[in-house]
Amino acid sequence: MQLDLTYRHIWKISAPIMLGSAAQNVIALSDAVLLYHLGEVEFGAIGFVGVFYITIAAIGYAFSRGGQMMIARRMGEGRPGAVGHVFHTMLLFELALALLMWAFMHFATPWFFRLFLDHSPEIYQKSLEYIHYRSFGIFFSYGGIALISLYSGIARPGIILFTTVVLAIINLLLNYGLIFGKFGLPAMGIGGSGLASSIAEGVAFVVFGAYMIFDKENRRLRIFSMPEPDWPLTKQQLRLALPVVANAAVGQGSWVFFFGMVENLGPRALAISNLARTVYLLLSIPMWGFSSGANTLISNLIGQKRYHDVLPAAWKTGKFCWAVSMILAVPILLFPGQVLYPLLGKEDMSLITETQPIFYLLLLILSMATFGVVFINALAGTGATWFGLQLQALAVAIYLGYLYFITNFTQLGLTWVWAAEIIYWVVMIALVVWYLRTERWHEMEF
């Protein structure tokens, strides 16, 4: 399938991915809202450990981007029969990586979490309790990521939306049951939340796999033809994906550092930042859909040799993403008491009130992030992933330096801590737009 540079095509690709690729965001939001009602310690813990698990999931997602870009380019070149080979290579690698990540979460997190939570023993214990059960979901998470990348790359993402709805419903019901002991289930607290999320991912993966079996289009793509392991193709995918993985690890890992710095300011500051982060995650859903759509669209355009359309496609997708994001963000961030109260409940509105200055700042952060995330993925779609890693490293170094200075040498408060996001996105947008204008990426092959 060869794609065109129209808002219709951008929406057709991005809308299902926008909701479907938000699986981890949906789980994180469900966990946070229910644990908020359980207690402030559990709510603070899920802020830290939730970011940690999303970082692990982002690494798998980033590895799949190499395969997604190759699939989209093969479709743009008019070579659908080559898609199955790329997909199998990607899937096998994702499952092997999942085993490695499970071992890390199962055996190394007691040491790793202590590096960040040394001053909060209760949050440390609750974080370990959650990750013990959550770690088993990584196999379904990484396997599902490979399936999402396949259907995103061929620009047929409708099934992604359906499986995410299944995931969200099952996760919400099991979360409620296992956290509070409802529906005849044991009351497991934060550990029940981790178990519920792992089970929900397993069910969603089975549903997705069943759909693939009955999808006749997959015969044309040779999805069910099992080739021999292709190490050169694996290396080619890794060459594309490794910088994207490093980008994801550095970008999401900076959030772990962020919460580690905020933890030094006390449990209340951690709870406020967790609420802001939860809302930020919710409002980021359009970004990840449009950015994945931009990745597919631009890889497809390059497969058609339409290099001159790449920068206009990025701008058009960025503007579309900003408009959709603002429709969601403005009522939530300007009127958080009215919008969030039905979700969070409780008579004490002080947490929402104390977070309100950060909500106002999030409007500016989101305005820049919508363009920034789209442009970063547009850059990845060209194949210039190693250069993208260099840009990311520079921006994150500035971000972390600012965070460390503000939290350790000033008394400026949380609003100034969150302003680090503005600095990060200003640097990233400027660098990526500059590189795309140079046209150095025209001859990149993959």
Tell me the pLDDT of the chain (446 aa) as tens digits: 555 567 777 777 676 666 665 666 667 777 887 888 888 788 888 878 887 888 888 788 877 877 877 887 787 777 777 788 888 888 888 999 999 999 999 999 999 988 878 777 888 999 999 999 999 999 999 999 899 888 877 877 778 878 888 888 999 899 999 999 998 999 999 999 999 999 999 999 999 989 988 887 777 777 777 666 667 777 777 777 777 777 777 776 777 778 777 777 777 777 788 788 878 878 888 887 788 778 777 877 777 777 787 888 888 888 989 999 999 899 988 888 777 766 665 555 777 888 888 899 999 999 999 999 888 888 877 777 788 888 888 888 898 888 888 887 887 778 888 888 899 999 999 988 888 887 776 666 65
Q: What integer pLDDT is reported at residue 130 of this predicted model?
A: 93
224-246 burial: b if 16+ Cβ within 10 Å, else e? eeeeeeeeebeebbeebbbbbbb
Q: Measure the CA–CA gap between 406 and 256, rounded to whole angstroms.
A: 16
The pTM for the full model equals 0.71
Nearest in space to 362 (alpha carbons), one of 430, 291, 425: 425
**Inter-residue contact 164 to 22 (CB < 8 Å):** yes
Please answer whether residues 271 and 123 qualify as being in contact, where contact means their C-beta atoms are separated by less than 8 angstroms: no
**Cβ atoms of residues 176 and 200 within 8 Å:** no
- Token couple for 104: 């890390």
d(CA 21, CA 373): 14
41 in Cβ contact with 129 (< 8 Å): no
Q: What is the predicted pLDDT for the residue at 230?
A: 65
Q: What are phi and psi of 304, to 5 degrees?
A: -90, 0
CB burial class (10 A; 0-12, 13-18, 19+) of residue 78? exposed
Helix axis angle for 285-303 and 138-153, nearest 10°, is 50
Spatial contact of 374 and 294, defined as CB atoms under 8 Å apart: yes
